[in-house]
Amino acid sequence: MSLEFAYYPGCAAKQIQREADWAARAVCQQLGIRLNDMPRASCCGAVSLRETKPAFAMAVAARILSEAEAMGRDLVTICNTCLQTLSQANYRLQNEPELLEKINAVLAEGGVRPYQGKIQVRHLLWVITEQVDPHLLRSKITRPLKGMRIASFLGCHSVRPVEIYAHSANEENTPHLDQLISIMGGVPVNYTGKDRCCGFHVMLSDKEEVHAMAAKNCLSAKDAGAQIMITPCTLCDMIMGSSQELAAKTVQRTIDLPEMNFAQLLGLAMGLTKSQLGISRLHVDPVPVLSKIGLA
């Protein structure tokens, strides 16, 4: 069975966190997963549009879901917030027939094909750990991580609220990242910050608090022995990785915990090149850690 999806990387992966998109495409090519671009898809509205314009937010999400449905594919993303926003809308549109009807009437005003509620919203991480043939996945790990200690930072929006993710994940049993770490030959690290928040959505308004959160969570991973941190979310990447140095300044401690998107580390374990995976764009240089196990 070939795996083929409507691919929705999200705004961050198209702009600041482009390396996550490169890595996602590269590992999918290795695994025979086809990612079809969605030229009509807009920004999902993230957490904000549902606050400013709730009905418009629902219509924007339905229009994206409808495009994937017209392509005949489930939608796959690499951003936790896109995942939650679209899953939440999908959950309601699939369970509230009256709402679906109302929103389709709104879509018709813009000449958009009605959504029939037939597709699923998936995270690429779930696809890789649940849908890809495990033998194929294992066979692609040509540069195993040799017991490297890895902290998985789950990111709020791929695990909560449980209600909308009941089919695939829940906060107390979120095996995907740790499973992948084991498959890659790494050792998952247990630490208290694992299921906490990166703070991205208040990074401009409550900056000091966000830096305090990032510092606390990175340090708890580091204190538990993590050599590297991975996340399934381009927004978490932006805080835990790109802003880590700024966060460290607020707590007046060095953190220096290399952080990257899960797809980048998977790409490295598959023997893909650093430039293909945008490793040089990372703010905390992972090369010293990677070279210890001959990966860089």
Partner 1 sequence: MSAQVYIFRIQRNMPGQVGTVQSHWQEYSVEAEPNTTILTLLEVIKGQQDGSLTFRQSCRSAICGSCAISISGRTRLACKTHVGAVARDGVVEIAPQKNQPILRDLAIDIRPFFARVHGIKPYLQEGPEKAGKVTSTAYDQVNHVTQCIMCACCYSECTMAEVNPDYIGPAALAKAFRFVSDPREGKKTERLRELSEPNGIWSCTRCTMCVDVCPKEVAPMEAIVKLRTRGLDKGYGDSAAAKHALAFHEDIVKSGQLNEFTLMMRTLGIFGSMKETAMALHLAKKGKIPSPFPHSIQGVEELRKIYASLERTPVDVETKAKQAVPE
Shortest Å distance, C-beta 104 to partner 1: 11
Dihedral pair phi/psi, residue 228, rounded to 5°: -155, 155
- Exactly one of 13, 27, 28, 60 binds partner 1 (CB under 8 A); which one? 60
* Residue 165 beta carbon to partner 1: minimum distance, rounded to whole angstroms: 10
Q: For partner 1, which is the closer residue by CB, 37 or 133?
A: 37
Task: Please name every residue paired with 123 in a beta bridge, in sequence order, or none if there are none.
Answer: 77
> The tokens of 112 are what?
């958009």
Exposed e or buried b per residue across 66-86, where buried means at least 16 C-beta atoms within 10 angstroms of its C-beta: bbbbbbebbbbbbbbbbbbbb
The minimum distance between CB 173 and partner 1, in angstroms, equals: 11
82 is an interface residue for partner 1 by CB under 8 A: no
Show the site string, 179-208: x = touches partner 1 by CB under 8 A, - = not. Answer: -------------x---xx-x-xx-xxx--
Q: How many helices (H) and strands (E) does the chain have?
A: 15, 8
The candidate with the shortest Cα–Cα distance to 283, out of 77, 13, 11, 19, is 19
42 binds partner 1 (CB under 8 A): yes
Q: From 125-133, 137-145, 227-235, 277-285, give the range in contact with partner 1 by CB under 8 A.
A: 277-285
Q: What is the DSSP string of 35-84?
A: EEE-TT-----HHHHHHH-HHHHHHHHHHHHHHHHHHTS-EEES-HHHHH
Contact positions toward partner 1, by CB under 8 A?
A: 11-12, 14-17, 39-43, 45-56, 58-60, 63, 84, 92, 96, 99, 102-103, 106-107, 109-112, 156-157, 160-162, 171-172, 192, 196-197, 199, 201-202, 204-206, 209, 212-213, 216, 242-243, 245-246, 280-283
